[in-house]
Amino acid sequence: MALYRVLAVKHGADGRAFAAVDGGMSDNPRPALYGSTYHVRPVGRPATAPTARFDVVGRHCEAGDVLVRDAELPADLRPGDLLAVPAAGAYQVSMASAYNLVGRPAVAAVRDGRIRLLIRRETVEDFRAREVGR
């Protein structure tokens, strides 16, 4: 499962709504590369509002950086909300990259209500450590 935090919500004049999340084509390039489709659902707070259609988009400012099109999500979706993609794909982690210098996400295992970090999130310091110039 992939877990994303909503960074911004935008409602266009044409009636389209967008939810920008803290990931995108850097952590899951499959929708952009292959047209893979996913379902998304809100987690962490009760969904009491009626639903609306949103395109869930990544943070990379690329036309193809769309994770889920026409997702049925609460109309009152707001920054800070969490969205889960329950079946993110077997190759999501192995295909992840540092596109636009966005660090790769953490990987965790959850069992019996406990979480164990398997791979930590990549940080800006990780990028700096690779630099060899002055």
Mean pLDDT of 28-34: 90
Instruction: Indicate the pLDDT class of residue 133, thresholds 50, 70 and 90.
Output: confident
Sequence-separated (6 or more) residues with CB below 8 Å from residue 108 = 115, 116, 117, 118
Neighbours of 12 (CB within 10 A): 9
Could you confirm whether domain 2-96 is CATH 1.10.3720.10?
A: no
Q: How much is the pTM? A: 0.89
Which of 8, 61, 87, 108 is the catalytic position? Answer: 61
Query: Is 61 marked active-site?
Result: yes
Number of C-alpha atoms within 13 angstroms, CB side, residue 4?
Answer: 31
Give 41-89 pLDDT, tens digit per residue. 999 988 788 999 999 999 998 889 999 999 999 999 999 999 999 887 6
Structure tokens that stand for 61 in this block:
């400012």
> Is residue 129 within a helix (H) or strand (E), and if so which, with residue range?
helix 124-130
Mean pLDDT of 5-13: 94
